[in-house]
A = this chain, B = another copy of it.
Amino acid sequence: MLNRVRSAVAHLVSSGGAPPPRPKSPDLPNAPSPQTAAPPEAPRSPPATAGSGSAAPAKTVEARASFSRPTFLQLSPGGLRRAVDHAGRAVQSPPDTGRRLPWSTGYAEVINAGKSRHNEDQACCEVVYVEGRRSVSGAPREPSQGQGLCFYYWGLFDGHAGGGAAEMAARLLHRHIREQLKDLVEILQDPSPPPLCLPSTPGAPGSSDSSHLVGPQSCWSSQKEVTHESLVVGAIENAFQFMDEQMARERRGHQVEGGCCALVVVYLLGKVYVANAGDSRAIIVRNGEIIPMSREFTPETERQRLQLLGFLKPELLGGEFTHLEFPRRIQPKELGQRMLYRDQNMTGWAYKKIELEDLRFPLVCGEGKKARVMATIGVTRGLGDHNLKVCSSTLPIKPFLSCFPEVRVYDLTQYEHCPDDVLVLGTDGLWDVTSDCEVQSSGPSSGPGGPGHPPGPWLASPQQQAGFRG
């Protein structure tokens, strides 16, 4: 089964995703090694110019910040103009689904209800080659292509308050993942347990084996087992953080507007890693069964984390908010009465006497789609938002948001798949109007066919959608 998947990967790499030339200038800052390998990338769609209205002011960053559609759509100049036409944004689909994109990837987006000038959502689909940074054994490295690793990558970025963060994430997040994986190229291909400690510099005396067991002076009787899988999870988690830090550094110079939810899939060595930071959702449909591959991070699902932070760091509330939750807004005339509340340790409700500071606005309020952090934002994880402030205030909201994804792993070698199986990634706009079951029954059958094949991914990126439209 693993062999079949590997064959499929090899086929796709050699046909649809053949190793491209190295790009001229990698966008990642501080490339830590001169041997840094570039990712295979399809040629970028040119930035939209006709009627683009991009907010990017500086010439030097125009290529970065101006509005564009996902590169894998391979839009013609005419298609690009239609994509940014405010009056009638067209449904976009890749021109040759099933041939150029890995695993017969499909893509659909619909108009965003005029909420913003551009569609703030972005998507990305890449075959990424990772060349090892150095030999972990300390021996001089042969610069051979064959020692690298290849992963498939799909990303869906639901932007808000501007399209800059989603565009930057779509362009760079997979490169951060590649960067994090560089140390692991040899380790992941070696069936023995990963070394717990690596030498400080390439070619240093080998201290990379697992012989550094603690002596009897330590109270630890043994070392922990670390799996290859957990290294990939850690690489993806850190890549999200580095992406977010880069947005923070470059937000002034490069007009990284707003923020975005990020839902990312990495297929590497037979396993599918689904990383979600936000309220998008991924499901796998396998033989008609729905397997959730993510959960949503919202003010409601993350209430206790937010409240705990407000409780431990009250200065983040700026004297304007209370970390307590109430079932409705308290009115000043109710002072002294007893109101239901929940604090950060509670899942149930209890009554408390209303005091003056309970009249502050709650850190978390509202329900469902109307739930908000600091009355401002309805999602609690994602990238960007470094400039986001409470309305009519200078209080920053970013400290309450987390850039870290939850990563779930699906081992493709453990299951048989049929031609109708599919991996669906959708932003909240899809799932607000469509249940998992409806997606399953009406979704595309885009798998390459035959049992044992991996499910074909399907990305849906509507900001507001009236139904599942391919």
Using a CB–CB cutoff of 8 Å, the interface residues on chain A facing chain B are 180, 183, 194, 196-200, 207, 212-214, 218-226, 229-238, 241, 308-309, 312-313, 327-329, 331, 334, 336-340, 342, 345-351, 353, 365-367, 370, 372, 375, 402, 404, 406-407
Contact = CB atoms under 8 A, between A and B. Distances in A.
A345 B200 contact: no
A345 B214 contact: no
Contacts of A220: 328-329, 365-366
B338 A198 contact: yes
Nearest to A201: B336
Contacts of A196: 327-328, 339-340
Nearest to A353: B200
A197 B237 contact: no
A222 B367 contact: yes
B237 A350 contact: yes
Nearest to A194: B340
A374 to B, nearest CB: 11
> How many copies of this chain?
2
Given A183-B351, A233-B347, 4 more contacts: A199-B338, A213-B328, A219-B329, A347-B407
B348 A236 contact: yes
Given A226-B340, A366-B220, A214 B349 contact: no
A362 to B, nearest CB: 9
Given A348-B232, A348-B237, A214 B375 contact: no
A348 B407 contact: yes
B348 A214 contact: no
A330 to B, nearest CB: 8
A327 B198 CA distance: 13
B327 A226 contact: yes
Nearest to A232: B348
A224 B348 contact: no
Contacts of A338: 183, 197-200
A329 B218 contact: yes
A92 B22 CA distance: 76
Contacts of A234: 342, 346-350
A336 to B, nearest CB: 4
B230 A345 contact: no
A241 to B, nearest CB: 7
A340 B228 CA distance: 12
B337 A237 contact: no
B337 A214 contact: no
A265 to B, nearest CB: 16
The listed residue with most B CB atoms (<10 A of its CB), out of A231, A331, A349, is: A349
A29 to B, nearest CB: 18
A186 B349 CA distance: 16
Contacts of A309: 312
A404 to B, nearest CB: 4
